[in-house]
Amino acid sequence: MNHQDVNLNPTEFLTAVVENLDGLFFAETREQSKRLFNEIMHGETMPFMLIQLGEAGEIKCDVSLDASKYVGKLNFSNFRKALAMMLMSINQRLKAESDLAILSSRDGDLLFNIPGIVKTADTVNMMVCGMRQNSPGVATVRLLFIDPDAYKQQAE
């Protein structure tokens, strides 16, 4: 399957991502979810979901985490708070059928610019998700913490 032969519907894709992230990090036991968090926190890419495309084949998706822009010490609880906020923001957009704020790079990477924002007394952290096509039929759903200051500057 050539990756140009398939055109994923962003709404359907993002709905599947939200459902699977919710299942992995909130419906599973805390022990299982924490184990997965520890793996992706340490740079592992973990199996995530399989998208069936009928006669066009399937896309195997892994999940990864880029916490390099996280301000402070990222632990499982803080990760889940940010993830929950991002999932809530995405769900609100999906239900309202609003623009999904998709950004794309020259390499074909997609970024859903729908952040989950977590504020503490002295920090703000923002999580977004994106997708990278690794090869035909293989993609990575990327959870990324972004620099809130840079985000604020771009919005102005």
Rounded-to-integer distance, Cα 90 and Cα 153, Å: 22
Q: How many structural domains does the chain have?
A: 1
With 0-12 / 13-18 / 19 or more C-beta atoms within 10 angstroms meaning exposed / middle / buried, residue 98 is: exposed
pTM for this structure?
A: 0.87
Domain that holds residue 92: 3-155
What residues form DSSP beta bridges with 89? none
What was the pLDDT predicted at 121?
77
Reading the chain (156 residues) residue by residue, the pLDDT tens digits are 334 445 667 888 899 999 999 999 998 889 999 999 999 999 999 998 988 777 777 889 999 999 999 998 899 999 999 999 999 999 999 998 888 888 888 888 889 999 999 987 788 999 999 999 888 888 899 999 998 777 655 544
Closest to 76 in 3D by CA, of 41, 119, 112, 113: 41
State which amino acid sits at residue 106: R
What was the pLDDT predicted at 2?
39
Q: In what order do the strands lie in the sheet with 46-52?
A: 46-52, 58-66, 138-146, 124-135, 110-119, 102-104
